[in-house]
């Protein structure tokens, strides 16, 4: 492994120099990787493994969204796609257990009954093994138990791979039954599309991951944005101004530059007024948030967060309740305003989203683009002339996701060979 300086602390990492894709393929040559669950991580990792020449089979409940995604991605029922988890475990030498955390608890009796000596049981999250008293997931002694955890969403794992980049991942060995667990997991980590790997433990992975999701990566940032937006609205600012100053400028301008160059560069590149404000107020926010972060970490470590996950996400009506919660965000003034702001981005003037009509400056008839990427081939071009903004309706969710994926791919190309992203 390579030794590198992380802020004055020397750590070991595995790069593509220590584990090339050629070597990873050689190590995995005789393996059959069975992926249980075709959600975001199962889809991203499975497709990357297949494209890298690894033999992969998929286990997914038939009739759901994951099954339809697998069919659309080219997996063939009865050949490399199966709706019986036990069949996949029987056919595999390495099993990637990528069901939801609640799903892993539910399906563990089936999986454990079919595990055999010499197999590798692979996780992308330490949840089930660390909180075994809640999940009852206790692997038998004859199998390797390992972890590869991409630091990004499954869609990012795939998008970075297609862009010729990679995603940072952690890895761990919980149980080495064969004497080759470390070699197998590092090879698997590179084959799923990792740019580099850093060692961790199952415990450290799940503690940091659950804290991050509830904190800066999702929960805290969503709450902070909501608080600022509502403060600006209460003080008389319009929805468009409040959203632009809270979300749009951050996500479209500052955060990408911060991710590429660091927060010191970002602050130094701003106006002196912005510099002073950021430096003065960051300490106040740090002091205000630190107690909340500490309480969050203790809630994660104690198992309280996992207890809530298993109780709520395992409930029969969870999907309906989740949709109701998401509707609260989706239908709020803030995020409705956000949909309009996103539709007014310059790239959306040039390529109207599905269902968005746009009239040219010279009075041409409105056109309805089904697939913006085919515009040059399918849509007649208006004569050259000045363009003007139009009040586009918010793009459909599918169109927004496609646009987001496109921007992510562009950012990956601009950011070099290794990019960090986010999971789930």
Q: Which residues are catalytic?
A: 125
Structure tokens at 88: 């996949």
- Enter the DSSP assignment of 55: -
In terms of C-beta density within 10 A (0-12 exposed, 13-18 middle, 19 or more buried), how is residue 286 classed? exposed
In whole angstroms, how far apart are CA 345 and each of 245, 246, 252? 15, 16, 10
Report the Cα 275 to chain-centroid distance in Å: 31
- Enter the DSSP assignment of 332: S
In terms of C-beta density within 10 A (0-12 exposed, 13-18 middle, 19 or more buried), how is residue 213 classed? middle
Structure tokens at 314: 């395992």
Cross-strand partners of 147: 123, 172
Cross-strand partners of 3: 12
Helices within 52-138 (DSSP H only): 65-72, 85-91, 101-114, 127-130, 132-135
Q: How far apart, in whole angstroms, are the C-alpha atoms of residue 136 and residue 333?
A: 43
Q: How far apart, in whole angstroms, are the C-alpha atoms of residue 421 and residue 152?
A: 4
CB atoms within 10 A of CB 72: 8
Q: 415 near 195, Cβ under 8 Å?
A: no
Who contacts 295 (Cβ-Cβ below 8 Å, separation ≥6)?
A: none
Angle between helices 101-114 and 304-313 (to 10 degrees): 80
Who contacts 291 (Cβ-Cβ below 8 Å, separation ≥6)?
A: none
Count helices and strands in the chain by DSSP H and E runs = 22, 10
Query: Diameter of the chain by CA atoms?
Result: 73
In whole angstroms, how far apart are CA 247 and each of 91, 231, 240, 304? 47, 14, 10, 31
């Amino acid at each position: 492994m390579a030794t590198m300086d992380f802020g004055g602390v020397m750590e070991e990492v595995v790069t593509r120099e220590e584990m090339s894709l050629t070597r990873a393929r050689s190590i995995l040559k005789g393996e059959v990787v069975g992926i249980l669950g075709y959600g975001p991580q199962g889809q991203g990792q499975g497709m990357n493994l297949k494209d890298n020449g690894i033999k992969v089979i998929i286990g997914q409940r038939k009739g759901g969204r994951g099954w339809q995604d697998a069919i659309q991605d080219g997996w063939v029922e009865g050949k490399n796609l199966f709706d019986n988890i036990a069949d996949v475990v029987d056919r595999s030498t390495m099993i990637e257990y990528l069901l939801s955390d609640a799903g892993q608890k539910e399906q563990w009796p089936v999986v454990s009954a079919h595990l055999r000596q010499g197999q590798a049981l692979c996780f992308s999250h330490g949840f089930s093994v660390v909180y075994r008293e809640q999940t009852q997931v206790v692997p038998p002694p004859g199998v390797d138990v390992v972890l590869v955890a991409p630091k990004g969403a499954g869609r990012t794992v795939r998008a970075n791979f297609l862009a010729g980049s990679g995603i940072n991942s952690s890895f761990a060995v919980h149980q080495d039954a064969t004497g080759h667990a470390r070699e197998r997991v590092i090879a698997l980590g590179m084959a799923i599309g990792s740019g580099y790997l850093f060692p961790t433990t199952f415990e450290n992975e799940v503690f940091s991951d659950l804290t991050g999701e509830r904190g800066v990566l999702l929960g805290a940032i969503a709450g902070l944005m909501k608080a600022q937006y509502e403060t600006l609205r209460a003080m008389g600012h319009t929805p468009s101004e409040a959203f632009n100053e809270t979300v749009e400028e951050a996500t479209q301008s500052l955060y990408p530059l911060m991710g590429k160059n660091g927060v010191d560069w970002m602050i130094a590149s701003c106006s002196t007024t912005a510099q002073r404000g950021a430096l003065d107020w960051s300490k106040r926010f740090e002091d205000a948030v630190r107690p909340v972060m500490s309480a969050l970490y203790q809630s994660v470590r104690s198992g309280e967060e996992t207890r809530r996950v298993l109780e709520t996400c395992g409930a029969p009506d969870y999907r309906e309740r989740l949709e109701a919660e998401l509707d609260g965000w989706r239908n709020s003034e803030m995020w409705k305003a956000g949909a309009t702001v996103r539709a007014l981005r310059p790239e959306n003037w040039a390529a109207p989203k599905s269902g968005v009509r746009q009239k040219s400056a010279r009075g041409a008839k409105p056109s309805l683009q089904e697939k913006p990427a085919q515009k040059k081939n399918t849509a007649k071009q208006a004569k050259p002339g000045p363009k003007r903004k139009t009040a586009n309706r918010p793009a459909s969710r599918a169109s927004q996701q496609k646009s987001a994926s496109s921007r992510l791919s562009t950012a990956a190309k601009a950011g070099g060979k290794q990019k960090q992203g986010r999971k789930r």
